[in-house]
Amino acid sequence: MAQVNFTFPDLRELVTIRKEDAIETLTSLGFPAEETGKEDELTVEVTPNRPDCLCVEGLARALHSYQTGKAKYYEVAKGKVEVDVNPTVANVRPAFGGAVVRDVRMADAFLRSLMQVQEKLHDTLGRKRRKIAIGIHDFDRVQPPFRYFACGRKDVQFVPLEMEEKMTPEQILLEHPKGVDYAHLVGERCPMIEDSNQEILSFPPIINGELTKLTDRTRNLFIDCTGTSEEAVKQTVNILVAMLSERGGKIEEILINGKPYPLLQEHVWPVPAKQAERLLGIKLSHATVCEYLQKMGHRIAGDAVHVPGYRVDVMNEVDLVEDVAIAYGFNNFEPSLPEFASVGKASPESVFHELLLGLGYDEVMSWTLSNPAHERKAGIPHGSAVEIENPLAEDFTAFRTSILPNILTVLSDSKNEKLPIRIYEEGAVGAPQLENRLCIASMHPKASFSEIKGAVLAIAKAAGLEISIEKEEFGPFIFGRSAAVYLNGKKAGYLGEISPEVLENFSLEQPVCAAELRVS
C-alpha cells in the first residue's frame, strides 16, 4: 500500500465533513485512515488498484460521492495546443499523452499534494518511472507548439530543475542526483520535450527543466506524460487532470500529431444487478445497486453504468460488484455456513516439522518472491535468479535463491518479542533450479555456533541422515564461525553465527545463529 499524508484543513477545503467521519468513512471505503500525531495531519493507506486516490483531491472526491450519491463530472474543452511526437522516440519511449489545465491557484498545500501524487504515481502505476513518467510545467513560460523527440547524449543543453548551469543529457545522467538514480532507464538516445523556441521543458523520465518550474505565481499548467504503455499514460493523465479540476482548474485537450488527445472518456457497462445478487449472496434490487454504484462515483443512465475515466481499476463487471459490496458495507454482511458439506484431511507434513517443534522451533512462512538486494543485504553471494518479467512491487522482482534473508527479516520484525526466538522455514528456492530447503535460526544473547551445530546434528540423526560438518567460510557468517554441512556425502548447505554487519543491515541487536540446508 502507498501512504498519502495531508492536513485535515486541506481536506475540508474540498469536502464538508467532520474529521472523525472522514477517518471512519475512508476506512470503510477500503482506505485505512488515522491521525499521525502531528497537528491536524492524517495518513491514509491506498491500495495499488486505486491510483486515483493517491492524493487528497481523489480522497475528497470519493468522500463527496459517498456522502451525496452523486458522481463528479469534469468538463473538457477543445484545445489548440499542438505536440509533434517525432518518429525518433518509437524505439526509445514511444507513448505520449498530455493536457493543458488553466486557472489553477497554486497554494502551498496544493503544491505539496501535486508533488506527492507525482511521486506516488511514479512509484506505483509508473513502476519507478519505467512505465510512465510525469512532467508538470508552468505553461506561460514556454511557447507552443511542442515537440517530443529523441537525441544523442551530447546534442542539447538545458538547465535541469534545481540547477543553475546548462548541462547535456550525458552530464545529467552522470552528475545530477535524479540522473544517477534513473540513468538505467535511458539508452544512447534521450527523449526530450521542447517548445517552438527550442527551449527544453523536460528530459523524461529523468528531470524537468528549471525553465518551467512551478511557483506560487503559476496559473496555467502543461502536463506531459511519457512511457512505454499507451494505456498507463492515458490513465495517468486522466488521474492528474481530474485532480487539478478538483482545485478549480479548467481542463483543455491537446492535439498530438494533429489529432485531439481524448481525456476522461467514460467506460460503459450494464448495471450488474443480477450478478451482484449472485456473487454477494444478498437480495438487491436494480435501484439499490444503482444507488450503491452512484455512491462509489459512477454515473447511471438507464440500465448503463458510466465509469469515470480516472477509475483505472474497473476492468469488468465483477469490479463493479466489488464497489457495490464496499458501498453496502462489509461489516453488514451476515456470516453463514456454506450450503455443502466437506471432509477435510491433513496435508502431508515434512519429516523435519515434528523434529523442529520438539527442539523448540516455531514455523514461519514467507514470500517465495524476493529481490536480489535482500540477499546482498544478508551477505549472500549474488547468483543467477529467475526474474519476474512484470513485477508489481520492488520487493518482488525475482524468485528467491535463499530463505535466510526472509528468516532474518522475520527476526527483525519480531525483535521486540520475548527471547529466545527460534524459528524455521522449509520451502522452495530457485538457485536457479527449483529445490527444497530448510532454514533454521535462533536469536538470543547466547546464540552461538555450538547451538546451531547441535540442532543440525540432532535433526540429521533423527531423520536418519549421515552428516559431516567441515570448516568453511560463507558470506553471512562470522569469519571462523561457519561451516559447510554434508548430508549423505553431498554438500547440503551452511551453518554458523550471523556476522555483525548482517545483523546491522537487518537492525538486529541480539546474536543470531542459523543454518540453511538443501533437503530435496
Write the CATH number for 247.
3.50.40.10
Domain range for 59? 2-68
In a domain, 271, yes or no: yes
Q: Do 159 and 304 belong to one domain?
A: no
Cβ–Cβ < 8 Å for 153, 173: yes
Whether this prediction's pTM lies above 0.75 is answered by: no
The CATH number of the domain where 309 resides is what? 3.30.56.10
The CATH number of the domain where 494 resides is what? 3.30.930.10
| Last residue of one domain, picked from the residues 328, 362, 380 | 328
Q: Do 248 and 101 belong to one domain?
A: yes
Q: Do 132 and 44 belong to one domain?
A: no
Say what angle helices 286-295 and 56-68 make with each other, to 10 degrees. 150
In a domain, 343, yes or no: no
Q: Do 256 and 360 belong to one domain?
A: no
Positions of E strands within 355-420: 362-363, 369-370, 398-399
Q: Do 161 and 282 belong to one domain?
A: no
Q: Do 393 and 477 belong to one domain?
A: yes
| Last residue of one domain, picked from the residues 212, 244, 260 | 260
In a domain, 280, yes or no: yes
- Residue positions counted in the chain: 520
Count structural domains, the chain. 4
In a domain, 346, yes or no: no
Q: Do 372 and 322 belong to one domain?
A: no
pLDDT tens sequence for the chain (520 residues): 789 999 999 999 999 999 999 999 999 999 999 999 888 999 999 998 999 999 999 999 999 999 999 999 899 999 999 999 999 999 999 999 999 999 998 888 899 999 999 999 999 899 899 999 999 999 999 999 999 999 999 999 999 998 999 999 999 999 999 999 999 999 999 999 999 999 999 999 999 999 999 999 999 999 999 999 999 999 999 999 999 999 999 999 999 999 999 999 999 999 999 999 999 999 999 999 999 999 999 999 999 999 999 999 999 999 999 999 999 999 999 988 877 777 777 777 788 888 999 999 999 999 988 888 888 888 887 667 777 777 767 777 888 889 999 999 999 999 889 999 999 999 999 866 788 999 999 999 999 999 999 999 999 998 888 999 999 999 899 999 999 999 999 999 999 999 999 999 999 999 999 999 998 7
Residue type, 490: K
In a domain, 396, yes or no: yes
Cβ–Cβ < 8 Å for 236, 91: no
Q: Do 98 and 226 belong to one domain?
A: yes
Q: Do 49 and 178 belong to one domain?
A: no
Positions of E strands within 401-466: 421-430, 434-443
For 378, the grid coordinates are: 544478508
Q: Do 278 and 153 belong to one domain?
A: no
Q: Do 322 and 232 belong to one domain?
A: no
| Last residue of one domain, picked from the residues 68, 87, 118 | 68
Q: Do 360 and 314 belong to one domain?
A: no
